[in-house]
Chain A
Amino acid sequence: SQKIEQNSEALNIQEGKTATLTCNYTNYSPAYLQWYRQDPGRGPVFLLLIRENEKEKRKERLKVTFDTTLKQSLFHITASQPADSATYLCAPAQTGANNLFFGTGTRLTVIP
């Protein structure tokens, strides 16, 4: 069955460092992958989408990579700030598939 795993439940890093979150998937051949941010008591919010033919995508301090051979996506936040503290969710999907399944999420805490 399809499985989406994110590296760890919780990740603590020092302010100013780069946070790296991992999303691994099995029994999937996604054509694209989305990343979302969720704050406590709120719904997830879309951050970035990367397609299978894109190795890397950047948006301000965010960078996402997509390795279809390793079946893995990495999500980086450079120069991290306490305001980046949140849970981050990945969602790989097939082209034309309207349904979107999410990983378990990684709770990031940036320590001042």
Chain B
Amino acid sequence: DAGVIQSPRHEVTEMGQEVTLRCKPISGHNSLFWYRQTMMRGLELLIYFNNNVPIDDSGMPEDRFSAKMPNASFSTLKIQPSEPRDSAVYFCASSSGLSTGELFFGEGSRLTVL
């Protein structure tokens, strides 16, 4: 298996632009997570899905952030409009959904908003 695949790996954009990050989870995994990592705040859980359904989005910073999972093999995290404080590395992770299941992370998408 190729593991969790994220794109783009790097994104530089200007404030106010829309940003879309993409994630393909490991086949057969039914839980998907979006995290954001910064030096100041560490690894923060933004939202997670179970069987394509958003279960907990309490970590989403504000209405500018939205996430979708239209099918079991694809998810997007969108920021519109983007702001400089959104600059971070965004990770997608998937798991088999077992209560103690380990998370498999992608390589992350490094976002810089100028």
Which positions in A face B, CB cutoff 8 Å?
A: 32, 34, 36, 41-46, 49, 51, 89, 93, 95-105
Are A43 and B33 CB-contacts (below 8 A) given A49-B100, A100-B45, A102-B42? Answer: no
Can you report 10 residue pairs joining A to B where beta carbons are below 8 Å apart? A43-B91, A43-B106, A44-B91, A45-B105, A97-B99, A98-B55, A98-B99, A100-B103, A102-B43, A105-B43
Category for how many chain B residues contact A: 20 to 34
Chain B residues proximal to chain A, CB less than 8 Å? 4, 31, 33, 35, 42-43, 45, 48, 50, 55-56, 91, 93, 95, 97, 99-100, 102-108
Contact A103 B42 (CB under 8 A): yes
| Chain A: CB-nearest residue to B92 | A43
A95–B100 CA distance with the chains assembled, in angstroms:
7
Chain B residue numbers with a CB within 8 Å of A36 are 103
Q: Of A36, A46, A98, A104, which is in contact with the most chain B CB atoms at under 10 Å from its CB?
A: A98
Residues of A within 8 A of B106 (CB): 43
> Of all chain A residues, which has the CB nearest B48?
A99
Q: Which of A46, A89, A105 contacts B104 (CB 8 A)?
A: A46
* Residues on the A chain within 8 Å of B50, using CB: 98
Given A36-B103, A42-B108, A99-B33, 11 more contacts at CB 8 Å? A32-B100, A42-B107, A43-B106, A44-B43, A46-B102, A89-B43, A96-B99, A98-B99, A100-B45, A102-B43, A104-B42
